[in-house]
Amino acid sequence: MLASLVLTALLASDNTLTAKEAKQGWMLLFDGKSTAGWHNYAAEGIRAGWQVKDGVLTVADPENAGDIVTDGKFDWFELQVDFNYEPGQNSGIIFHIADDGQTMWHSGPEVQIYDHKMQAGEQITGDLYQLYQTKVDASKPAGQWNHLDIYVSQKKCWTKVNGAKYYEYVYGSPDFWARVAKSKFHEFPEFAKTIKGAIGIQGDHGKVSFKNIKIRPLKV
From first to last of its 220 residues, what are the pLDDT tens digits of the chain?
444 433 344 445 999 999 999 999 999 999 999 999 999 999 999 999 999 999 999 999 999 999 999 999 999 999 999 999 999 999 999 999 999 889 999 999 999 999 887 767 778 999 999 999 998 899 999 999 999 999 999 999 999 999 999 999 999 999 999 999 999 999 999 999 999 999 999 998 889 999 999 999 998 7
DSSP string, 72-132: S-BSSEEEEEEEEE-TT-EEEEEEEE-SSSSSGGGTS-EEEEE-----TT---TT-BTTTB
Cβ-based burial of 134 (10 A; exposed 0-12, middle 13-18, buried ≥19): buried
* Bridge partner residues of 148 (DSSP): 81, 161
Task: List the strands of the sheet with 90-97, edge to edge.
Answer: 38-40, 68-70, 198-201, 90-97, 110-114
Query: Across the chain, how many H-helices and E-strands are there?
Result: 3, 13
Instruction: Show me where the domains of the chain are located.
Output: 15-217
Nearest to 14 by CA among 53, 62, 49: 53
Domain 15-217 matching CATH 2.60.120.560: the answer reads: yes
Nearest to 166 by CA among 196, 204, 135, 197: 135
Please give the model's pTM, rounded to 2 decimal places: 0.92
